[in-house]
Structure 1
Amino acid sequence: MDRRDRYPVRPDLWCRLQRTLGPHNFLIELILGGAVVESRRTRKKHELRERILEVAIRQVGERGLAATTVGSIAEEVDISQTTFFNYFPSKAVLVEAVIGRLSDLLGTVLADVGSGDEPAADKVLKLFEFAASLTTTQHRVLRDIVIEVVHESTLSERPSGNLSALHESYRTVLADGQRAGEIRVDLDATILADVVIGMFTSVFTNWADDVAYPISDRLNTFGKLAVELVARGA
């Protein structure tokens, strides 16, 4: 078998290397062959890491964070716990990855709520109402995410990236509403977004501190109040 057949290398590149280093220089094969093996190994590692994360996210959705264990994840993925720890050195590291992935998804979904052709005030109300419905259907998982996001923001003393993206999304919504004559214009859209997102996040902060906090009712109430505060003529 020709050596070129054993490695997925472009023929022109192979010939250039051969001409440069000579037809019998096995250094070429060692370098290129090693690169191929490393590339496959890297891909397989990434695939296994994603599989572990995928199973962890599903188990968290079904059981909650506390009841999701390293053992249950490793068993479902069909790997040893030693292999698991090669990818996630501790459950805390895994939890951070899970929360990061879920909060990214949640942030995207919430920001997307502000898209569409509805009036700006309706989009503001829709944000609160949609979040309220999520707290009913995904109560346990959502609260776990909220606690971690609030904790992250407190430690870093700055809003998380997802909250910043949500703020920017609704600043745009409110600015468009001002141009359409739907939203009050005596205050800048950035300030109005501060009000809306500040009210929105305060509800979740209270929920993170108190599991008995009436999160759904408060979101619906605060949504109506937010609309009253930003609507033209307020």
Structure 2
Amino acid sequence: MLEAEDPPSRRERRRQEIHGRILAAAVELFDTRGVTDTRIDDICEHADLAQKTFFNHFPTKQHLFREIAQTFIGNVCSIVEQVRREPGSTSERLARAFRRAADVAQHRGPRHRELVQEVTRISAAESTDPNRHGGLPQAFNALIVDGVAAGDVTRVHTPVFLTEMIVSVFQGVVMSWAHDEHYELDRHLEEAARFLSRAIANEDRAST
């Protein structure tokens, strides 16, 4: 019989609460003021914490960006996991995941693009290998493997290759939006999903 894990101590709960306050304050300021115009002092003031406390949690601003990026990626992964449990073909699920990711990214503050630039830069630097634990590759690879099992995803290419293409296209579209205020994220992700749907489709099944 597995033993239940001990609940976090009061000190650990306090540490987690402060950590969350720093992240929330940083994201709010980045969304409204922009990344370059937000100083660590601003984040500390907004979170009502001493600068020393900030550095106890994040040695540098880059460490803060990395955790925010991990949160963003985690949110997209959760979207993919959710659509995997929903009815529809693999192509329909992929389009649904892209559409919901666009909604999450767009409905934020006026300077959110600057934050997404940092997030996509960090995300793009990570491996697209789906065997790597966590992250977008593993989430999208699970969707592709489901499709192969269901028979609506091609076997001409390996799931690993198809996953690499999906992740690369998704990151490329989001990065383009982050750098161009006139770029329509929802429209381009919708078009990307249609393109990828044709690329991953099992043509033998489609022709029967």
- TM-score w.r.t. the length of structure 1 is 0.63
Is this contact kept in 1: 2:35–2:114, CA < 8 A? yes
Judged with a 3 Å threshold, the aligned counterparts in structure 2 of structure 1 residues 92 and 139 are, in CA distance, closer, same or farther, namely same
1:192 is aligned to 2:162: yes
Same amino acid, percent of matched pairs: 25
Residue 89 of structure 2 is matched in structure 1 by 119
Structure 2: 5+ residue runs without aligned partners? 1-8
1:58 is aligned to 2:58: no
Distance of 2:34 and 2:125 partners within structure 1: 23
Secondary structure of 1:105's match? helix
> Which amino acid counterpart does residue 192 of structure 1 have in structure 2?
L
Match of 1:216 among 183, 186, 195: 186
1:104 is aligned to 2:74: yes
* Deviation of the 1:90 alpha carbon: 4.5
Cα RMSD of the aligned pairs, angstroms, is 3.6
Residue 99 of structure 2 is matched in structure 1 by 129
Judged with a 3 Å threshold, the aligned counterparts in structure 2 of structure 1 residues 105 and 190 are, in CA distance, closer, same or farther, namely same
* Deviation of the 1:142 alpha carbon: 5.5
Is this contact kept in 2: 1:102–1:145, CA < 8 A? no
1:49 is aligned to 2:19: yes
* Deviation of the 1:43 alpha carbon: 5.7
Residue 139 of structure 2 is matched in structure 1 by 169
* Deviation of the 1:92 alpha carbon: 4.2
Is this contact kept in 2: 1:74–1:84, CA < 8 A? yes
Judged with a 3 Å threshold, the aligned counterparts in structure 2 of structure 1 residues 63 and 177 are, in CA distance, closer, same or farther, namely same
* Deviation of the 1:230 alpha carbon: 1.8
User: Greater helix percent: which structure?
Assistant: 1
* Deviation of the 1:159 alpha carbon: 4.1
Structure 1: 5+ residue runs without aligned partners? 1-38
> Which amino acid counterpart does residue 222 of structure 1 have in structure 2?
A
User: May I ask how many residue pairs the two structures share in their alignment?
Assistant: 195
Judged with a 3 Å threshold, the aligned counterparts in structure 2 of structure 1 residues 166 and 188 are, in CA distance, closer, same or farther, namely same
Is this contact kept in 2: 1:56–1:73, CA < 8 A? yes
* Deviation of the 1:87 alpha carbon: 4.2
Q: Which has the higher contact order (CA 8 A, sep 6+)?
A: 2
> Which amino acid counterpart does residue 60 of structure 1 have in structure 2?
F
